[in-house]
Amino acid sequence: MYKKYSKISTIREVAVAVRFLGIFDTVGAFCIPVEIGFCFQKINLFKDLTVSANVKTVVHCVSIDENRKPFIPTLCNQARNVSEVWFAGVHAGIGGGYGHPQLGRIPLSYMLGRLDKTFSNNRVAFDKVKLSQMTDYNLGVDEFHLHYHGDGIVKKRRDIVVLKDGENSGNKPAIHSSVFNLMDSKKLILSTTFDGFAKIEAIRYMPKSITGLMGNFALIE
């Protein structure tokens, strides 16, 4: 799309200041049933992976547990205005798209907290009742559902990294503290779908992508 408009000479560029950009587990799949990789994303789907300088604050909530290869995350290039924070859950779970949305309330609550901080002098108004219904959670009491997509789908564990020009920058990725609360929880439920049937069982949450970091991460509250 950006290539199409870049060829129209009559378009007049107008600088617009964007104070806050919140994104949830952005992927470049667009229903393409294969792993497209960083280069394809960069050349064919996005102008580049660097957030425009006119955006003051970017918050990207990223899924730890999504392992379908077509759903590799489209990470932003490292920048001072970009915060990428990793949360427990798969792609749709981060966005609150399941019937048990409790897990999705964690990144949503974090996102709204960051939004509130950005506009602390002129807060964005929400319906308090509806907001509470969508964001309230209790890590010590609530039951959280993690989803597995079953066999027959090509899978690849996500690499939890901070990117710079498509490469691992070596900087510590930011992991939300709730991930470790869930690792200690006895109320995490795994929902697995096979041939249209769902199997539900309690599990101990211990994602290898987190344990594999060997403590080399930044903890975010």
Tens-place pLDDT, residues 35-91:
445 454 444 445 567 888 899 999 999 999 998 887 888 899 999 999 999 999 999
Question: Is 4 part of a structural domain of the chain?
Answer: no
Domain count, the chain: 1
The pLDDT value given to residue 8: 62
What are φ and ψ of residue 86, in 5° steps? -95, 135
In the predicted model, residues of the chain with pLDDT beneath 70 are 1-12, 28-48, 150-154, 194-196
**Contact between 104 and 94 (Cβ < 8 Å):** yes
The pLDDT value given to residue 49: 79
**Contact between 76 and 82 (Cβ < 8 Å):** yes
Question: Is 9 part of a structural domain of the chain?
Answer: no
Question: Is 206 part of a structural domain of the chain?
Answer: yes
pTM for this model (two decimals): 0.85
Which is it for the CA torsion 175, 178, 182, 188, positive or negative?
Answer: negative
The pLDDT value given to residue 40: 47
Question: Is 171 part of a structural domain of the chain?
Answer: yes
Residue 46, domain extent: 17-220
Cβ–Cβ contacts within 10 Å for residue 194, how many?
A: 12
Question: Is 11 part of a structural domain of the chain?
Answer: no
Task: Report the length, in residues, of the chain.
Answer: 221
Question: Is 10 part of a structural domain of the chain?
Answer: no
Question: Is 12 part of a structural domain of the chain?
Answer: no
